[in-house]
Chain A
């Protein structure tokens, strides 16, 4: 069974600080990795995708991938109250549907 694991939180981070969200996955052949943001009662919104080992930066967001450790992370710099949401890690094994983790609730403290 392919699994994506995340700490459910809540993770509380002061406004302006760096929020660090982590995810591990079980299927070693997975090729594509995604971070979605989900506000309460809303649909998931894709914010980052990463395919190669290392870091990928987009504005205040940095995704990090380590395939050897089967580990994906998301850093949010200069956290804002509007970043308060549930962050879903998602993994796409080769030629398969996307599998989601349960999500980490992030709370930015004003």
Chain B
């Protein structure tokens, strides 16, 4: 069964450093999402991406964060200057164009980001 893959599985970085989280969505999917989950808290929406541009972003998604689809397959989340409060699990998800509003997402295995 097709799956969403994320790398790295765990990233430790110093505060103020840049990190790039990578995702390879399912190949025929066109809608992509990033969510995060701070330890013990709910899964929160960060950003949605369609047709090579951001379609919606949350208030968490500030000007230090960007998303790209650099090569037509990978989907990346970049945090330019990490803060301690960015420590969380980051999940990528994708969805096919068919009946977009009816299907739940397929999530990747996640990247645990630890900012020290």
Q: Which residues does A use to contact B, with CB under 8 Å?
A: 31-32, 34, 36, 41-46, 49, 51, 88, 90, 92, 94-103
- Interface size for B (C-beta < 8 A) is 23
Question: Is B75 close to A, CB under 8 A?
Answer: no
Q: Which residues does B use to contact A, with CB under 8 Å?
A: 33, 35, 41-45, 48, 56, 89, 91, 100-110, 112
A23 to chain B, nearest CB (A): 12
What residue of chain A has the Cβ atom nearest to residue B92's Cβ? A43
Judged by DSSP, the binding face of A is loop
Q: Is the beta-carbon distance between A98 and B105 smaller than 8 angstroms? A: yes
Q: Bound state CA distance, A102 and B33, in angstroms?
A: 19
New contact pairs (7) apart from A31-B101, A44-B91, A103-B42, CB-CB < 8 Å: A34-B104, A43-B108, A88-B42, A90-B104, A96-B56, A100-B43, A100-B44
B97 to chain A, nearest CB (A): 13
